[in-house]
Chains A and B, each alone.
Chain A
């Protein structure tokens, strides 16, 4: 039975390819449909090839504005969450203080709690405080839920770090600031970067919490949701494809840089 043998030998590869297809098929569909010229308002059926949406990505009213809002929130939320999260992670690993154990588990809560519950309770909080819903309330909410991811990523890295490394730096004439900048930070960097990337992705595509606390501000996910009620412009697929390409490019560049560094060494 040559066919069975052939299958047996390549089972792992076939399973791998099928999984990859499963993961990437939605992205392919999004890309394909960004070149569609739909009849009517909905872009759900293939009609005809066209590049008109790519030539005019901001042709839909309000879409690029919402994209810019989303990007701004994502950047600020990433900065805020990464900074705070890194400091919390260092404090949790390095110092022994009262309620350390409690904080260690409480920090996981936002990850475990259903988003809709968090969204509703945040809204209640903001309303009771008399806060004006908008850019700032979205940002505060995003920093909050991104924080746990950053803490988790950085903590793992700091925990695996040999404390002797910092002692060695101090022994080799590096003061506290130099030790932090030259040794601690570079070694913790991969964890911090992972936390930051996660934060950006989570903040950029968050819908539930944002929708509750946005007031009249419209982010990109909210815009997509809103327009899906009335019809889906092809430009949404264009932005989606572009985001995917940027992410792929990002991964490829970091791989190339990593390879080159290893070769040089």
Chain B
């Protein structure tokens, strides 16, 4: 398989789905290149599963087309599409043993000798011993692997995974994430993975599409999405962001200078997704781990050219690898700061006055017309 082979590309053109007056998916365009690990990330009800089901053929799109390579599959029934799905509930056939579950797809396509292939596939997912057991006799993790084997044995052009790790406990989930990534690299098939777990999407996928309310908010590599979010939803849904309301002051070469509270903040113009006309409002964003904390007494030691804010520590929680501070600042009441526990300053306790400072290159700018809290609550819900 070479990079010029596009037979495994998935191309969605203007595809949308409405149920009566409810729009589950707004018409969207999306291209998933052959051999990539692609994640659709979003909270429940954002339309990611519906999008996946339209690719599988289990849901008829209200508009638009689905192409696999050069083939238009929009109106093909699922059993005629070279696509297989791993369902969230696994959907293993309870009346068949593991061997027959895995052999199901081959047998339906009239393959005569399935024994060797099935045994090899069961070896790949390390379930060779369990071939004659029924699904209910296996653990959740094992059932999950059977579901993957049952889909992969058909060598689909695209493998669709609908929250496949949702029912597993945290430790097993981490293990299966690596396992799935390994399998994907090994077989080179295009994987489209639907998940609400942002960490899962970021660790596994090459490209992530963040969906919200039936629309793709932003699409890109995990680092790109994290470092340079373009909407408040993405900024809050992927990790945590500090968003500060600011006003554009001047434009200084490639930088935009902003006024926030009494101070000035510098933002690279290239990292600002909002129109930066003088006098306009912008949301300034910075990730908590990019910020350094210095006690107010040592403020003079902070190098020039860094963005600074002052504040007072409202809360500090020690979590081993780092300490998470909540800072009360005149420009924003709850700034999150994560500091690695390398050299701990004993004076940084709740009540202490501090200076927050960071490299301006880590600042991003967002359109202030958006809801500043978009995507925040959803994260808390999922974490609960």
Interface residues of A (CB under 8 A from B): 162, 164-165, 167-175, 178, 182-183, 186-187, 189, 264-265
Instruction: Judge if B308 is at the interface, Cβ distance under 8 Å.
Output: no
Contact B87 A173 (CB under 8 A): no
A–B pairs, 9, beta carbons within 8 Å: A165-B91, A165-B93, A167-B87, A170-B77, A170-B79, A171-B56, A172-B79, A175-B77, A265-B133
Instruction: Judge if B78 is at the interface, Cβ distance under 8 Å.
Output: yes
**Which residues of A lie under 8 Å from residue B133 when comparing CB positions?**
265
Contact A171 B78 (CB under 8 A): yes
Q: For chain B residues 87-142, which have a beta carbon within 8 Å of chain A?
A: 87, 89, 91-95, 97, 104-105, 108-109, 132-134, 137
Secondary structure at the B interface, as helix, strand, loop or mixed, is: loop
Instruction: Judge if B58 is at the interface, Cβ distance under 8 Å.
Output: yes
Contact A170 B89 (CB under 8 A): no
Other contacts beyond A183-B93, A186-B95, A264-B132: 15, CB < 8 A: A165-B93, A168-B85, A168-B91, A168-B93, A169-B104, A170-B78, A171-B78, A171-B79, A171-B84, A172-B84, A172-B108, A173-B79, A174-B108, A178-B108, A265-B97
Given the contacts A167-B78, A178-B108, A265-B134, A173 and B95 also touching, CB distance less than 8 Å: no
Contact B87 A172 (CB under 8 A): no
Report the separation of the CA atoms of residues A171 and B134 in the bound assembly, to the nearest whole angstrom.
21
* Minimal Cβ-Cβ distance residue in A for B82: A173
Report the separation of the CA atoms of residues A171 and B78 in the bound assembly, to the nearest whole angstrom.
5
When A and B form their complex, which 3 residue pairs have the shortest distance between CB atoms, in order from nearest?
A168-B91, A172-B105, A164-B91
Instruction: Judge if B157 is at the interface, Cβ distance under 8 Å.
Output: no
Interface residues of B (CB under 8 A from A): 56-58, 77-79, 83-85, 87, 89, 91-95, 97, 104-105, 108-109, 132-134, 137, 150-151, 154
**Which residues of B lie under 8 Å from residue A169 when comparing CB positions?**
93, 104
Cβ distance B161 to chain A, nearest Cβ, rounded Å? 12
Report the separation of the CA atoms of residues A171 and B56 in the bound assembly, to the nearest whole angstrom.
7
Contact A172 B132 (CB under 8 A): no
> Given A162, A175, A264, which contacts B91 in the complex, CB threshold below 8 Å?
A162
Contact B94 A172 (CB under 8 A): no
**Which residues of B lie under 8 Å from residue A265 when comparing CB positions?**
97, 132-134, 137
**Which residues of A lie under 8 Å from residue B104 when comparing CB positions?**
169, 172, 174, 182
Contact A162 B89 (CB under 8 A): yes
**Which residues of B lie under 8 Å from residue A182 when comparing CB positions?**
104, 108
**Which residues of B lie under 8 Å from residue A168 when comparing CB positions?**
85, 87, 91-93
* Minimal Cβ-Cβ distance residue in B for A264: B132
**Which residues of A lie under 8 Å from residue B151 when comparing CB positions?**
171-172
**Which residues of A lie under 8 Å from residue B150 when comparing CB positions?**
172
Report the separation of the CA atoms of residues A167 and B108 in the bound assembly, to the nearest whole angstrom.
14
**Which residues of A lie under 8 Å from residue B78 when comparing CB positions?**
167, 170-171
Contact A187 B134 (CB under 8 A): no
Report the separation of the CA atoms of residues A170 and B79 in the bound assembly, to the nearest whole angstrom.
5
Report the separation of the CA atoms of residues A175 and B80 in the bound assembly, to the nearest whole angstrom.
9
Contact A171 B97 (CB under 8 A): no
Contact B93 A164 (CB under 8 A): no
* Minimal Cβ-Cβ distance residue in B for A170: B78
